[in-house]
Amino acid sequence: MSPFTGSAHRTEEWRHLRLTLDAGVATVTLARPDKLNALTFGAYADLRDLLPELARDGSVRALVLGGEGRGFCSGGDVDEIIGATLAMDTGQLLDFNRMTGQVVRALRECPFPVIAAVHGVAAGAGAVLALAADFRVADPTTRFAFLFTKVGLSGGDMGAAYLLPRVVGLGHATRLLMLGESVRAPEAERIGLISQLADEGEAAATAQALARRLADGPALAHAQTKALLTAELDMPLAAAIELDAATQALLMNGADYAEFHAAFTEKRPPKWQGR
């Protein structure tokens, strides 16, 4: 995502989510607790637009995505989205589905790690949002459900058929996407869908602690690691090794690499600059 901006000013207020910034950590909260944070057209659009804006800002070094109330996100709002899409023509439906996919691309392509703090239900699009994060911190109440086939649609929605096999393997992904079965926290941890299992009620705090650790670390190294993890998913080994070599050569010219050596020599913690 390019850091260069045009004439538009930074958005000061987001109508469909809540944003807080704290010393390099952005926290984005889905805030429709009465609807289990079901997504609307506006919520999708805000997420699509927010992530590139934070990337251009340059001060964000980690992001926590969470949900207010009893659950993380119950997916698309049945009344506001499913009902409305029944009246759309093919062109409008294509625009909508492309927008939801742009949210996932933004999560994968933003130059900072994203941590999903998951509790309660993460269903449909909510499950895919968590899947697209770099880390999924969840508590024992968590229940993932990729429900798309249960509403008569393909399980491969918003990139799920691309991402899920790469996280849990083809066998588990086939079962979860084809059958739309729920997977609770113990099994989700066992198959690798959960990165870290928190104590009950502590997913948000645990995710914040991880975000602080990442934000205080070498931001450029984190950004390049994330970029390589995404880019190399479909590369042959020779191309991946060449990309690794080029990336390391660039980072070896960076300030953080020199700072590590200075800190090691002086027997002190590094003072990371993110460049």
- How confident is the model over 117-142, as pLDDT tens digits? 999 999 999 999 999 999 999 999 99
Percentage of the residues of the chain whose pLDDT score is greater than 90: 93
pTM for this model (two decimals): 0.95
Looking at residue 1, its pLDDT comes to 67
Secondary structure of the chain in HEC code, one letter for each residue: CCCCCCCCCCCCCCCCCEEEEECCEEEEEECCHHHCCCECHHHHHHHHHHHHHHHHHCCCCEEEEEECCCCCECCECHHHHHHHHCCCCHHHHHHHHHHHHHHHHHHHHCCCCEEEEECCEEECHHHHHHHHCCEEEECCCCEEECCHHHHCCCCCCCCHHHHHHHHHCHHHHHHHHHHCCEEEHHHHHHCCCCCEECCCCCHHHHHHHHHHHHHCCCHHHHHHHHHHHHHHHHCCHHHHHHHHHHHHHHHHCCHHHHHHHHHHHHCCCCCCCCC
Residue 9's pLDDT band, with cuts at 50, 70 and 90, is confident
Lowest-pLDDT choice from 7-11, 245-249, 256-260? 7-11
